[in-house]
């Protein structure tokens, strides 16, 4: 085959054949297709879309580019969750132990943050000694002994996606729903989980800004999972405001531990419990209530064992930033808006995130939100506290927050935390 013919076919709005898709993914992974040719094809896909059959075959070809994990030796059924990313989204940290405490095995392969969205591995690496990189044998051992593992995906898992994702990031094709969906699902299916729950974020702090776009992405991913024999459910959830009160790395770990101890912000607890119920149902586990696992301490027990099994010290003090700066309410009233994107960019500029994959992050940097949209505030009370190791970072973070919050007289019209469910 020839790359030019494949590009022209998609450019002209035709569906790609199975043979064309298999060839182009294999050839690109081997380096037989030039970067500029694959970027041209990615742009044609963004502009003209793909059918369900094309997306399914594209996903299968990316899975076939590497290894597939096998958890059939485990004594528990496996179930996993994937979030499309947001601001303050630390849900994986309490969720995996909660679901494990109820009898499932949770093989959570996670990633690092880029831009305004946080990364689960960056958060966990603020725990002294904790390590993200595990061999497949180590991953299985932690899963069998604790019921949950949160770690980095190995290099052998869907290598075609890793290469294509890097290309999309620099060619303006990240937003293509067929490419987003196949990227996420190729890794999750190759991971080998038996069931999958998707948390598709909607709002300013998410990649999908509208409910309509988020629903299209969710429907596409559910279809891919179904076509590949993985029971898949998706929830559309709000990301027009930060999730919880902590945005950063160590600060989000601390908030997650509060949730595991039976406290924490209501929205974090609600979403954790709802996703846990979906994961258990998808895995066929009944008679266990995740809310009980938070109340009786069993989820906390799993957390401590899981952290320790990956080299971390669950009792060690978490890193703290050297400097803080507090923003106070300019007037009294109701906090009508706290924009998730603005807060996420502020945390990024404080050092909690990265602009490039190779950039380091600060464990202690981040933002604490003292008030949530709908809360009454009084003039002079703290609204946000910024944490940074270098005080020179505060000015740029404050710039990103200009216009990012508003105080009015009436309660705001917010998206519901859980907008819809698709299966």
Paired strand residues for 333? 377
Do 25 and 103 share a domain, yes or no? no
In the annotation, is 169 catalytic? no
Last residue of a domain, one of 279, 309, 339: 309
Same domain, 225 and 96: yes
Candidates 10, 162, 187, 305; catalytic one = 187
123 is catalytic: no
Q: Is residue 105 part of a domain?
A: yes
Q: What CATH number does residue 398 fall under?
A: 3.90.1170.30
Is 168 an active-site residue? yes
pLDDT score for 138: 95
Q: How many domains does the chain have?
A: 3
* Identified catalytic residue from 10, 82, 245, 393: 82
CA distance 344 to 89: 11
Q: Which of 183, 186, 204, 362 is catalytic?
A: 183
Q: Are 246 and 329 contained in the same domain?
A: no
- CA nearest 373: which of 399, 394, 404? 404
What pLDDT is attached to residue 118? 83
pLDDT (0 to 100) of residue 356:
75
The SS3 call for residue 306 is helix
**Cα distance between residue 223 and residue 32, in whole Å:** 30
Residues of the chain with pLDDT under 70: none
CA pair distance 416, 411, nearest whole angstrom: 14
- Token readout for 180 is 């987003």
Q: Are residues 97 and 244 in the same domain?
A: yes
- By three-state DSSP, how is residue 103 classified? coil
Residue 229 lies in a domain: yes
- In this structure, the answer to whether residues 150 and 278 fall within a common structural domain is yes
We report the CATH number of the domain holding residue 26 as: 1.20.970.10
* Catalytic member of 80, 89, 122, 161: 161
pTM, whole model, 2 decimals?
0.93
- Whether 224 and 248 share a structural domain: yes
Q: Dihedrals φ, ψ of 248, to 5°?
A: 155, -140
**Of the listed 10, 57, 90, 168, which one is catalytic?**
168
Q: Among 82, 103, 78, which residue's Cα sits nearest to residue 292?
A: 103
In a domain, 375, yes or no: yes
Quickly list DSSP for 28-96.
HHHT-S-HHHHHHHHHHHHHH---HHHHHHHHHHHHHTS-----TTSSS-B-EEEE---SS--THHHHH
**What sign for the dihedral angle of Cα 276, 421, 119, 220?**
positive
Are 209 and 145 within one domain? yes
Amino acid 153: pLDDT: 85
Q: Is 187 part of the annotated catalytic residue set?
A: yes
pLDDT at 343: 97
Residue 116 belongs to domain spanning? 80-156+190-309
Q: What is the pLDDT of residue 166?
A: 84
Q: Which helix (H) or strand (E) holds 365?
A: none
Is 376 noted as a catalytic residue in this protein?
no
pLDDT at 111: 85
Q: Write down the pLDDT at residue 254.
A: 98
Query: Can you tell me the distance from the alpha carbon of 104 to that of 308, in angstroms, rounded to the nearest whole number?
Result: 19
Contact between residue 342 and residue 404 where contact means Cβ atoms under 8 Å apart: yes
Q: Do 108 and 225 lie in a common domain?
A: yes
Q: Do the Cβ atoms of 74 and 144 come closer than 8 Å? A: yes
Residue 255 and residue 351 share a domain: no
Instruction: Find the CATH number of the domain harbouring 242.
Output: 3.40.1030.10
Tokens encoding 203: 């709002």
- What is the β-pairing status of strands 80-83 and 231-238? unpaired
Find out whether 200 and 208 touch, Cβ atoms under 8 Å. Answer: yes
């Amino acid at each position: 085959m020839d790359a030019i013919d494949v590009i022209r076919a998609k450019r002209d709005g035709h569906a790609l054949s199975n043979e064309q898709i298999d060839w182009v993914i294999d050839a690109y992974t081997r380096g037989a297709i030039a970067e500029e040719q694959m970027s041209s094809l990615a742009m044609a896909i963004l502009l003209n879309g793909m059918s369900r059959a094309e997306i399914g075959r594209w996903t299968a070809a990316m899975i076939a580019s590497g290894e597939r994990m096998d958890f059939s030796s485990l004594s528990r059924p496996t179930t996993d969750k994937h979030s499309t990313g947001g601001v303050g989204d630390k849900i994986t940290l309490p969720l995996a132990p909660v679901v494990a405490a109820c009898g499932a095995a949770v093989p959570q392969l996670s990633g690092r943050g880029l831009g305004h969205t946080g990364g689960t591995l960056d958060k966990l690496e603020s725990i002294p000694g904790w390590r993200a990189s595990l061999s497949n044998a180590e991953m299985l051992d932690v899963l069998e002994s604790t019921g949950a593992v949160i770690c980095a995906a190995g290099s052998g898992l869907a290598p075609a996606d890793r290469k294509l994702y890097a290309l999309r990031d620099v060619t303006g094709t990240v937003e293509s729903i067929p490419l987003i969906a196949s990227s996420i699902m190729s890794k999750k299916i190759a991971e080998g989980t038996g069931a999958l729950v998707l948390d598709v974020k909607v709002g300013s702090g998410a990649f999908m800004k509208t409910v309509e776009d988020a629903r299209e992405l969710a429907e596409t991913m559910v279809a891919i999972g179904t076509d590949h024999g993985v029971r898949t459910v998706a929830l559309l959830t709000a990301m027009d405001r930060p999730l919880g009160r902590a945005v950063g790395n160590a600060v989000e770990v601390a908030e997650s531990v509060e949730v595991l101890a039976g406290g924490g912000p209501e929205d974090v607890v609600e979403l954790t419990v709802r996703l846990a119920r979906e994961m258990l149902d998808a895995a066929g586990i009944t008679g266990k209530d995740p809310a009980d696992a938070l109340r009786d301490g069993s989820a906390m027990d799993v957390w401590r064992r899981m952290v320790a099994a990956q080299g971390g010290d669950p009792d060690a003090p978490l890193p703290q930033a050297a400097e803080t700066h507090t923003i106070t309410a300019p007037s009294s009233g109701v906090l009508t808006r706290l924009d998730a994107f603005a807060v996420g960019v502020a945390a990024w500029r404080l050092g909690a995130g990265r602009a490039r994959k190779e950039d380091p992050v600060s464990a202690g940097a981040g933002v604490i939100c003292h008030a949530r949209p709908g809360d009454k505030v009084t003039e002079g009370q703290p609204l946000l506290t910024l944490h940074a190791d270098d005080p020179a970072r505060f000015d740029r973070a404050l710039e990103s927050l200009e216009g990012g919050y508003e105080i009015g007289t009436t309660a705001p019209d917010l998206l519901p935390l859980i907008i819809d469910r698709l299966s």
